[in-house]
Amino acid sequence: MGKNGLMNDDVSADLQKAEEREMKIERLGDEVQKGFLSGIAKDFDFAKFLQEKNSCFESANSRSNQCQRR
């Protein structure tokens, strides 16, 4: 395999990375759209949410970490 073969491999790898990046951006856009369509959050207590997240952050290294992603 000569230089052309190596360049083709590089081009193929770069093309694959670009396609993967485009798919990720498309999925992100889909999720953002779903968020917009879901409307305004009701009965959401931001102070409570922030308190829970801060508690999770502080206990991240403890064994009793009860925090989960929602």
Task: Count structural domains, the chain.
Answer: 1
The pLDDT of residue 6:
75
The verdict on residue 68 lying in a domain is: no
22 domain-assigned: yes
Is 70 part of any domain? no
Indicate whether 23 belongs to any domain. yes
Q: What is the pTM of this model?
A: 0.52
Greater confidence, 32 or 6? Answer: 32
Whether 63 maps to a domain, the answer reads no
Dist. CA 29–CA 34, nearest whole Å? 9
**Domain of 26, in residue numbers:** 3-58
41 lies in some domain: yes
The answer to whether 56 touches 67, Cβ cutoff 8 Å, is yes
pLDDT in tens, 16-64: 999 999 999 999 999 999 999 999 888 999 999 999 999 988 777 565 5
Q: Does 11 reside within a domain?
A: yes
